[in-house]
Chains A and B, each alone.
Chain A
Amino acid sequence: MSVSYSLLEQIIFESVHYVIRTVHSQSKVLDPEETNLRVKIATRFNEKEEEEEEEEKKKKEKDIEKDQDKENQKEKENGKKKKQENVPQLEFISSKTDIERNIINRLEIIGYRLGERTAERIAKNKPRFQEEVEKMRFVAKDIWTALFGKMVKNLRTNHQGKWMFQDDDFKLIRNISFTLSEELQNVSHQQNTRKNQQKQKQTNTTNIIMTESQKQILQSYLYIPCGIIRGALSAIGVECTVTVICEQLPDCVFTAKIINKK
């Protein structure tokens, strides 16, 4: 059964855009006429706003410190000894809100269901899997070709329950682009290294090095493929958790950690 790749890409991109829209609508009110989401995302992570946020955080931390100092003075006056608790300060430095976690969960479940169903369809005509290696190979070859048109470039293991799927040119994020100013920054950043120049000549693709904020946005596109891998493996009978690392743009490494039930 051949899946239309453009349709799959469309579905995934639309769902991720919807998700990003909801996440950002929590902080700002979006114009309904505003359709250019990429511009919005770029402006959201503008340098000025980052500075403002940092300033706010510092102010809040200072306030808390002042309160704690007052409390400490009172306690000393009372003559009691108390251990300093660090917990209230750390609450302001949480990296992901509950809403984001909820959305990430939902994206992952979308991928999970997709993976389960494709695995059912494709495993119907395959001989029985005897070992773990065969199951991983099934995901790396058959499911990847069915969904993305090519196989995984490299499948490695550490023989202790961790499997890594490395894809050189991951289809779903291949055509992601940034705003013009960001691209120029990225390219100039990267042109200086000889290695990258050689790589570019060999592979004919431009691997783009990204900043931290760009990587964070990119991460939201990679939850669905993580779910796909997890769903496919659980359909075959291997329970695992899947994470992904993406340093340069089309080059991803998915890591599946098998959960051993004993």
Chain B
Amino acid sequence: MKIVSIAILGKKNNPLYVYVSNEENKRKFEYIIHTSLDFFEEKVPLISPLSKKSTQNQNDMYLGHLFPTEDYKVYGYLTNTNYKLVCIIDDSEIKEQEMKTLLNNLHTILVDTICNPFYITDEPITSKTFHLKILDLIGKK
């Protein structure tokens, strides 16, 4: 299981942070992330009041029309404060629980960064420690 890309989008759908494991395909993954925004809006009103906060929208985006050999899975996570976390995975075998914990940890890292008094909200995250923490998170998997 390989995490291909992780992205954090702000309240106005502006990208705050994009990590891509393979720099060559960066544009492609940015495009995937952009299209996943529609799915966030789709899934939100369908959530019942009793469900938990993490919206796990599992959209299998088969990029048949671009690269017939490749397929990715895109997972999303919408926080209470309207931050969107997107995670793109290479393989097709992953447990839901693993993904939940991954995105949860990502959320804690994000909250830590936001609480930094030198961080201005709605600006791209340029902190090195943030980047290292994300690499740690991915490296464990």
Instruction: Give A contacts to B, CB under 8 Å.
Output: 113, 116-117, 119-121, 123-124, 126-130, 235-237
Contacts and interface: CB of A to CB of B under 8 A. Distances in A.
SS of A interface (majority):
helix
Contacts of A237: 11, 81-82
Interface string B55-83: 00000000000000000000000011110
B121 interface: yes
Given A117-B114, A127-B52, 14 more contacts: A116-B121, A120-B81, A123-B79, A124-B79, A124-B107, A124-B111, A126-B53, A127-B51, A128-B47, A129-B80, A130-B49, A235-B81, A236-B81, A237-B82
A121 B51 CA distance: 20
A102 B47 CA distance: 44
SS of B interface (majority):
loop
Interface residues of B, number: 17
B139 interface: no
Contact of A121 (B47, B52, B53, B111): B111
Contacts of B115: 117, 120-121
Interface string B18-48: 0000000000000000000000000000010
B30 to A, nearest CB: 25
B53 to A, nearest CB: 5
A98 B79 CA distance: 39
29 contacts: A116-B114, A116-B121, A117-B115, A119-B81, A120-B81, A120-B111, A120-B114, A120-B115, A121-B111, A123-B80, A123-B81, A124-B79, A124-B107, A124-B108, A124-B111, A126-B53, A126-B80, A127-B51, A127-B52, A127-B53, A128-B47, A128-B51, A128-B52, A128-B80, A129-B80, A130-B49, A235-B81, A236-B81, A237-B82
Contacts of A127: 51-53
Contacts of B79: 123-124
Interface of B: 11, 47, 49, 51-53, 79-82, 107-108, 111, 114-115, 117, 121
Contacts of A116: 114, 121
Nearest to B47: A128
Q: Can you list the 8 inter-chain pairs with the closest CB atoms, starting with the nearest?
A: A123-B80, A117-B115, A235-B81, A128-B53, A120-B114, A120-B111, A127-B53, A130-B49
